[in-house]
Amino acid sequence: MARIRVLVVDDSVVIRKLVSDLLSEDPDIEVVGTAVNGRAGVQKVALLEPDLVTMDIEMPELDGIGAVRQIRATGNRVPVIMFSTLTERGAVATLEALAAGASDYVPKPANVGSVGRSMEQVREALIPRIKSLVPRAGARPTHVGTGGSVPPTAAPTLRAPAPPPVGGHRLLVIGSSTGGPEALNTLLSGLQPLPVPIAVVQHMPPVFTRQFAARLDRQLPFEVTEAADGQVLRPGTVCIAPGDFHLEIVVEGRSFVARLNQAPPENYCRPAVDVLFRSAAAVAGPAVLGVVLTGMGSDGCKGARDLVDRGGSVLAQDQATSVVWGMPGAVTTAGLAERVLPLGDIPGEINRRVGQPARATAFTTPAGGTR
């Protein structure tokens, strides 16, 4: 079996050695080269034709964002994983890199007392992502923080759709992980103003979710916020679960309300899609539409089953348009998806199912009232 060929791009000799050494320890991975900055990295991508690139963000001559843009400008779709700092500045730069075409990111170790622990943190975050982005038949299984991936040969099994709920959908919930930031941007950009609240779980650290919500809020024609505990979820607005907090939806009076907690991670994730979907199923049942987008692992599958068991509907992104078909693939192969669609077709399907004529202004709440 051919090993996964990786190019390491970083201006720090320490980081280049650390990453190269830990990757070389894995029998499925081969480090085929290193580069000291983005300009050299672009050249070595063309020369070495690696299967995947790890890329620092801040580098001299050409930074990681510029390097990704140049690689993508040539039509090269090689997966690129960015190394990012867990700071406001690092979050902004990482989101720019993802918008430029990077596939995923890994936080740099912070506040770690030993080189050994630093290497372990990077190994735990990086190697599963490499193997998900560049699957190899027969590759040895690796512990993946968000669960296992779905074999690309798995055949889709579609669930027969239930009759539309009386009064239509009242809540839209979305889950995503690897590749999710740009997938969410694409999906939300294609939505018409909807008469329902939208709640999102995207696997991200705390600072990143705040910056991600702010970025979407600037780009989209409707309000996007990072969810706050006790926040009333209003129709036509989007709330994104904050990093390191589960997001649940409860009913208070006649409104859907966001509740945050730091209960143990599920699927090694906090926030977890399963938690959001399970709570939505409990309060709105058949009036919930769930959407599972690209992502590593299987988070969202159990929550999707909760939705289906209570009469809700689930859509899944197809394999061809997913950066990693782990999460939507798990939902699909479990027979929980009513439709498996290319990313570009999902907004239209949501608009068709959830949209109402412009004259409809009342919002029916779970308690049966309007506001």
Annotated catalytic residues are 177, 203, 299
**Length of the chain in residues, anyone?**
371
Bridge partners (DSSP) listed for residue 171: 288
In a 13 Å sphere around the CA of 296, the CA atoms on its Cβ side amount to: 26
Tokens representing 83 are 């190394």
3-class SS of residue 92: helix
- Give the Cα separation of 33 and 346 in Å (integer): 39
Say which residues have a Cβ less than 8 Å from residue 357's Cβ, sequence separation at least 6.
none
DSSP one-letter string for 26-72: STTEEEEEEESSHHHHHHHHHHH--SEEEEESS-SSS-HHHHHHHHH
> Which helix (H) or strand (E) element contains residue 116?
helix 115-133
3-state secondary structure of 253: coil
Q: What is the DSSP letter of 226?
A: E
Laid out side by side, the sheet with 198-202 consists of 224-226, 238-240, 198-202, 171-176, 288-292, 313-317, 339-341
